[in-house]
A and B are shown apart, each in its own frame.
Chain A
Amino acid sequence: MGESTHFHRRASGYLFLLPYVVLFVLFLALPLAYGLGLSLFRWELVSPAPARFIGAGNYREALGDPYFWKALWATFRFVLLQVPITIVFALFTAVALDAVSARRQAFYRAACFLPGMISISVAGIVWRWFFNNEFGLFNAWLGAVGVKVPWISDPRLAMKSLAMMTLWWSFGGPTVIFLAGLKEIPRQLHDAAAIDGAGPVQRFRYITLPLLRPVFLFVVVMSTIGGFQMFGQAFMITRGGPEFSTRVLVQYIYETAFTHYRMGYGAAMSWMLFVVIAVFSLVQFRLIRERRRHEI
């Protein structure tokens, strides 16, 4: 290959990138930069005062704002509740799916995936009614056995209820991805292990899990990011209540920017959330890579 063809190859390579990069710059990088700039200003939309540069002032305000910490804590609680149960449930479902005949698999998989296709505006209305303390569906049934659970009216329980609803709503996606990953695992490995006397649990532990690791990493990171960005469920079902126990950071940012019109402060908190998610994802990448190095 000559010098010029090499150059051509490279130029055409960038051409492949071009359409995406244009969109990326216009609708992600630019708005992000705009947000970063905004976070250094005090800008309140309805106030007659002009935007004023205040440096790290908004960030300082967040650190001293108890609602910010409460919202951050609520976000962590949601991620810690929802991500593990979703992943475990999805993994079990995928393993089970892998073991049944193809026709049944297609049916079950569609069934598991179905809830995710229901718009959050619809799902929210229905679950709000399920959860209603006095007049809701769940308690109507539980009432028959003399139990009444304050699903979303108890600050200690509300987030767990949201995590439950989210499990229902979102476990289909990870399941499908896990299933795709399971299909990549060579059957021979299982056969060989079975001949060597390994039981299903052992095979799962020593063949499936290690080989599933890249997929697992992908799913964990995506679920975590999704968990940090949770908004619709809390907004539709609990409106952040009771007593702000389910007001996650995204909702607080949304309220700050769009309801209270404090654009600069909202932008600053967005960037702090962004940093939190980035750190979390990096740690997860590292942790899973470390363990992989140890085990293989």
Chain B
Amino acid sequence: MNPRPQPLGRAGAKAACTIACGPIILVCVLGFLFGGCGVGTSDRGPIRFWNGFTGPDGRTMLRLVKRFNCSNTGPRVLMQRMDWGTYYNKLMVAGIGGRAPDVFVVHVDVLQRFMRTSFVRPMDDLFTKANGLDPADFDPNVRRAVTRHGRPYGVPLDVHILGMYYNVRLFRDAGIVDAAGRPRPPTNREEFLAAARRLTRDTDGDGRIDQWGFVFTWFRTNVYAVMAQFGGKFFSADGRRCLIAGPQNVAALQFCADLIHKYRVAPSPQNFDSWIGFRQGRVGMAFEGVYMLGSLEKQTDLDYAGAPLPVLGGEPASWAGSHVLCLRADLRGERLKTAWRLVRFLSDNSLDWAAGGQIPVRRSLRNTARFRSMRVQAQFARQLPNIRYGPAVPFIFEFYSEFDTAVDKALRGTASPAQALREAAERIDRIIEREQALAEQAPAGRSQ
């Protein structure tokens, strides 16, 4: 420093120092106040319950957790939620960082991926009748989906099935009604096509169609369900070959593309966002998950109803997903007990959960008058014996990425269904090879 600074300079320097240090000190102090927790999660503190329930679902779940906390004597449960899309990324990053939550929700088709990490707890010792949850009360196809090497890795909370929503007023206007004048949702391909044709109209006479019989909303679930109805398979029994380009799948995808380009009863596809068309009352039929009920609740001017998907292929089938409750692997003692109590509580009260747009996975709960009075849920639940989950492969997101692209191309007409699916199958086969090579490097006992 200059040996003889001006008084003013020195004062300024001091001020600068203070200004420079002030926020840093403040930040540190506040850090202590706000934070104070060390690396990883402690054995104290609340039970951390993470899920991807945003929107009304999140608020319903929050109320359930609140009720649990009122009756619970152990550690408090603290629920954190974020949108599914980012939830999985975050869950995985937290998992590697040793900060996995104590209880967390995972979709059944993603569970295959998470079962292979070290932070999901197998539940064969907990998930028993003696511990308050009778596995026999759960549908076997659902139970199978959460099992790996004979051990369940989670408790399914619900099953959200794809079903058909239809606009009651449009059906009446188009005369698609039974003898009593009640709208008659189609149950097979001929009825479906006939209904879709009658519902597709130019209402204001400007030469442009502004009311559609059908709309593809989420391509993935819509086409997946139709493929399942056509009897399509996705992987060979040993999991080493992708069969997505099989003739049934090609035929199913062709039928879907035909709805847009040949029969002209569906508008150009735009994925999720087309749902808004159904809410606007400009679409007669749409295949969507039971979870979409939440978005219709506020659509006070829409008269809608639910029905099982019509059988467009050879056999009844529908896409479904389930939210699965999982536990962190290293839970012990009182915390494990509380976490399990929470899992049981949520399962026992899954009718409250279902009210917002879900179907309880437990038979005993579905056989109640209360569930039967949930009109859309009860209709969609009729499809339960024929549901198809997403394929149980560990590279599920990469599979969906290829599947979605192939469907996208075929529905837009930029590639023929056969070509689009063949390209996807080739890419998926390469992913399988890569995974296989990795599995062979894996230490014994944890191989796939």
Q: Residue A192 at the B interface, CB < 8 A?
A: no
Chain B's closest residue to A121 (CB) is B83
B277 near A: Cβ within 8 Å? yes
B27 vs chain A, min Cβ distance (A): 12
A45 contacts B92, CB within 8 Å?
Answer: yes
On whether the beta carbons of A153 and B268 are closer than 8 Å, the reply is yes
Residues of A within 8 A of B280 (CB): 135
How many Å lie between the Cα of A259 and that of B402 in the bound state? Answer: 14
Evaluate whether A129 and B273 lie within 8 angstroms (CB atoms) in the complex, with A8-B1, A48-B442, A258-B92 already known. yes
Task: List the A residue with the shortest CB-CB distance to B275.
Answer: A135
Q: With A134-B274, A135-B280 known to touch, is A255 a contact of B401 (CB < 8 Å)?
A: yes
Contacts of A117 in B (CB 8 A): none
A289: Cβ under 8 A from any B Cβ: no
Stretch in B174-182, B337-345, B390-398 touching the partner: B390-398
Interface string of B86-103 (1 = CB under 8 A from A): 001100110010000000
CB contact under 8 A between A135 and B282, given known A129-B276, A261-B92 = yes
B395 touches A260 (CB 8 A): yes
Complex Cα–Cα for A178 and B299 (A): 47
- B180 to A: closest C-beta gap in Å: 33
**Interface flag for A132 (CB, 8 Å):** yes
Minimum CB distance partner of B113 in chain A: A46
Q: Could you tell me the distance in whole angstroms from the C-beta of A42 to the nearest C-beta in chain B? A: 8
A174 CA to B435 CA, complexed, in Å = 47
Question: In this complex, which of A12, A50, A261 has the most chain B Cβ atoms within 10 angstroms of its Cβ?
Answer: A261
Please name all residues of chain A whose beta carbon is closer than 8 Å to the beta carbon of B397 when the two chains form the complex.
Answer: 255, 259-260
The smallest beta-carbon distance between B390 and chain A, in angstroms, is 15
Asked whether any CB of chain A lies closer than 8 Å to the CB of B10, the reply is no
Query: Within residues 146 to 174 of chain A, which ones have a CB less than 8 A from any CB in chain B?
Result: 146, 148, 150, 152-153, 155
In the complex, are the beta carbons of A48 and B114 less than 8 A apart?
no
Contact B395 A128 (CB under 8 A): no
Please report the C-alpha to C-alpha distance between residue A258 and residue B282 in the assembled complex, in whole angstroms: 38
Query: Which residue of chain A lies nearest to B447 when distances are taken between CB atoms in the complex?
Result: A48
B159-167, B183-191, B243-251, B405-413: which lies at the A interface? Answer: B405-413
Q: How far is the CA of A45 from the CA of B88 in the complex (A)?
A: 13
Residues of B within 8 A of A5 (CB): 1-3
Q: In the complex, what residues of B have CB within 8 A of residue A242's CB?
A: 408, 412
- Residue of A with least CB distance to B267: A134
B26 interface residue (CB < 8 Å to A): no
A3 within 8 A of B: no
Digitize B234-257: 1 where CB-to-A-CB distance is under 8 Å, 0 elsewhere.
000000000000000000000000
* Distance to closest chain A CB from B87 (angstroms): 11
* B116 surroundings in chain A (CB, below 8 A): 46-48
The contact of A243 among B3, B273, B405, B439, by CB within 8 Å, is B405
Contact A128:B442 (CB < 8 A) given known A5-B1, A242-B408, A261-B92: no
Given contacts A5-B1, A133-B267, A258-B93, contact A49 B114 (CB under 8 A): no
Q: Complex: how many Å from CA A239 to CA B400?
A: 13
A261, chain B: closest CB distance, angstroms: 6
Report A127 CB to chain B, min CB distance, Å.
11
Docked complex Cα distance between A255 and B85 (Å): 11
Q: Interface on A for B, CB 8 Å cutoff? A: 5, 8-9, 12, 19, 42, 44-50, 52, 128-129, 132-136, 143, 146, 148, 150, 152-153, 155, 239, 241-244, 255, 258-261
B residues with a Cβ closer than 8 A to A are 1-3, 20, 24, 88-89, 92-93, 96, 113-114, 116-117, 206, 208, 212, 215, 267-271, 273-274, 276-277, 280, 282, 394-395, 397-398, 401, 404-405, 408-409, 412, 414, 435, 438-439, 441-443, 446-448
Interface pairs (19), CB distance under 8 Å: A46-B92, A46-B394, A48-B443, A52-B441, A132-B270, A132-B274, A134-B215, A134-B268, A135-B277, A135-B280, A143-B208, A146-B206, A155-B412, A241-B404, A241-B408, A243-B409, A259-B88, A259-B89, A261-B92
Closest 3 CB pairs between A and B? A258-B89, A48-B442, A48-B446
Given contacts A5-B3, A45-B117, A155-B412, 19 further A-B contacts (CB under 8 A): A5-B2, A19-B20, A48-B116, A48-B443, A48-B446, A48-B447, A50-B443, A133-B270, A134-B212, A134-B267, A134-B270, A135-B282, A136-B273, A143-B208, A239-B271, A241-B404, A243-B405, A243-B408, A243-B414
